[in-house]
Every structure is written in structure tokens, then in C-alpha cells.
């Protein structure tokens, strides 16, 4: 099925088939316990946004995935063990919001296609 939410909600074991070949199998539990977490935040002030952006780029435990200066928003990834580093960075700044972006079956599935596109493009 290509209805990711339905598969995620009803299946215990999920297999990915690409070009007629089985390329991955994962349990629903493993999918929900991925250690790399993605978070988004929006800051209140422009000057703080730019300071935080530089601080995040300099921190080896945090990956700055996306930055949207006009909205003062960032998307970052951290290993679950490094969440304290992220919290320490963010605590210095005033936020409009901070939330986790849950990892989904669609993210897992698209990871196989993103890797393939990188090989074709690069």
C-alpha cells in the first residue's frame, strides 16, 4: 500500500519494495524509536535568529537541516542522546514555538528514494 498512515497504524512489520525487490524490513516499534530526532523552532527576534543559527552550525552534535530567515524558523536534527546540547543552545533565546517533527513511515520510505536521487544527481 502507498497509504503510509494506514500502514503505520495497522502493521507490526513493514517491508519496502522498490523495483520489484525487497530492500528493507522494519518493525513499527523500530520506526517509532528512531534515535535521530527532528525539531523545529521559531524565534521571536531577528538578531537572536542569526546568533542561534551560527551557534548551531558550530555545534557538531546538532545538524541544521533548514533555515527560513524571513520567518525566523529552523529545523534541526540531533541524536536522542544530544538533546541536552540542543536545549542548552535554545534556552538562551526567546522562542515563539519549539516542537518535535515525528519520524514517519513516509520519511523512512522517502529516504530510499532520496539516496537514489543523490546517486543520480551526484
Tens of pLDDT, residue by residue, the chain (122 residues): 668 888 888 899 999 888 889 998 989 888 888 888 999 999 999 999 999 999 999 999 999 999 999 999 999 999 988 899 999 999 999 999 999 999 888 888 888 876 554 444 44
Query: Among 1.20.1250.20, 3.30.70.890, 3.40.109.10, 3.30.70.920, what is the CATH number of 36-101?
Result: 3.30.70.920
Q: What residue spans define the domains of the chain?
A: 1-33, 36-101
Exposed / middle / buried, residue 34 (Cβ in 10 Å: 0-12, 13-18, 19+): middle
- Measured in residues, the chain has a length of 122
Query: Under 8 Å CB-to-CB from 8, ≥6 apart: which residues?
Result: 14, 28, 31, 104, 105
pLDDT at 4: 86
pLDDT at 120: 40
Strand partners of residue 14? 26
The C-alpha atoms of residue 96 and residue 85 are separated, in whole angstroms, by 20
pLDDT at 112: 82
pLDDT at 68: 96
| Dihedrals phi, psi of 103, to nearest 5 degrees | -80, 130
pLDDT at 115: 58
Handedness of CA 107, 22, 35, 118 (dihedral sign): negative
pLDDT at 109: 86
Amino acid at each position: 500500500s502507498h497509504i503510509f498512515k494506514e500502514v503505520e497504524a495497522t502493521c507490526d512489520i513493514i517491508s519496502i519494495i522498490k523495483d520489484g525487490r525487497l530492500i528493507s524490513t522494519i518493525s513499527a516499534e523500530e520506526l517509532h524509536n528512531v534515535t535521530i530526532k527532528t525539531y523545529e523552532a521559531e524565534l521571536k527576534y531577528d538578531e537572536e535568529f542569526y546568533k542561534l543559527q551560527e551557534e548551531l552550525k558550530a555545534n557538531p552534535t546538532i545538524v541544521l537541516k533548514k533555515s527560513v530567515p524571513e520567518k525566523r524558523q529552523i529545523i534541526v536534527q540531533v541524536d536522542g542522546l544530544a538533546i541536552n546540547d540542543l536545549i542548552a543552545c535554545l534556552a538562551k533565546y526567546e522562542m515563539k514555538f519549539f516542537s518535535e517533527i515525528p519520524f514517519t513511515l513516509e520519511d523512512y520510505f522517502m529516504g530510499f528514494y532520496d539516496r537514489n536521487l543523490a546517486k543520480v544527481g551526484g
